[in-house]
Amino acid sequence: MCETLGQTFSERLGYRVMRVVDLDRDMSDVIPTGLTPDSEFLFDRMTQLTLDRTFGASRGGVRPRVLDVASGVGQDSIALAERGADVIGVEPSSRMTGMATLFAADKPGPMPHFVRGWSDRLPFPDGSFDAAFCKGAMDHFDTPERAIEEMARVTRSGGRVVLAIANFESLACRVGRALDDFRQDWLRRAPLRSRRGYDAPSDHFTRYEPDLIREQAEKSLQVEHFEGVSLGWGMPGWSKWTARLPVRIARQAVVGLDRVGRQWPGLSDVIVLSGTPRRSESTSA
């Protein structure tokens, strides 16, 4: 809504909106240096499900060709290559592309090829890949619907597009927001945290929730799977509590809540959506 109004206003003035993008970003400011049990489980489970859905698009013994959109430092591309996929990672940041290339150089066997490019203008012909995926980056895109359309375009008919995205209407976000509202409105006290988990960070341009990601995806994809990952991540006190528990008990707790999140994806911490390309004039292959 705000973006649309801003574009309309600028167009009336005869200006074109431009966003400054750091093409040398290396994610050193967001890569966690230490993980609590709930965070470690969330990131591992999100990655596992995303890559499983992506690799499942292979065709009977044929080495699948896969595109990793916003590939970052290449860890997911490398993991899929180690499974036996031919992978290309596309990423606008020169520094992250360089880091990904260095990381892959130390690995045995065929490794991914990394190129610089934008998600809404993928530099590949129609139907070039068996699968395309984007993990944890959709909310950073200026034009996410166009990015999904592009992923569908470069994926063959019957192939698969996989999207993994944080859910800002998760149970944890709802509980955190309710507690902060109570503290501020009734107790006249400050929020529990300086960085509130239910607020999208400043470098996120879309605040995703289940209906929005499904609505955007269904314009270009026939959705096959809509799955939840983890439950409770970011809830006040939850990370500290799991860190104090014995490892086995903490693991049982996060696994049990993940099972609930799978049944109720609208309340889960992350949503993984996958589907096959819809073919139209703009996505013909």
> Using CA atoms, how far apart are residues 199 and 176, in angstroms rounded to an integer?
10
What does the longest C-alpha to C-alpha distance in the chain come to? 63
What length is written for the chain?
Answer: 285
**pLDDT of 24:** 54
Closest by CA to 131, choosing from 84, 97, 75, 92, is 84
How buried is residue 248: exposed, middle or buried, by Cβ count under 10 Å (0-12/13-18/19+)?
exposed
**pLDDT of 34:** 58
What angle (nearest 5°) sits at the alpha carbon of residue 119, between those of residues 166 and 285? 110
**pLDDT of 60:** 67
Question: CB–CB of 151/282 below 8 Å?
Answer: no
Which residues have CB under 8 Å from 6's CB, separation 6+?
A: 17
Residues of the chain falling short of pLDDT 50: 1-20, 26-33, 282-283
**pLDDT of 281:** 53
Tokens of 177: 């927001």
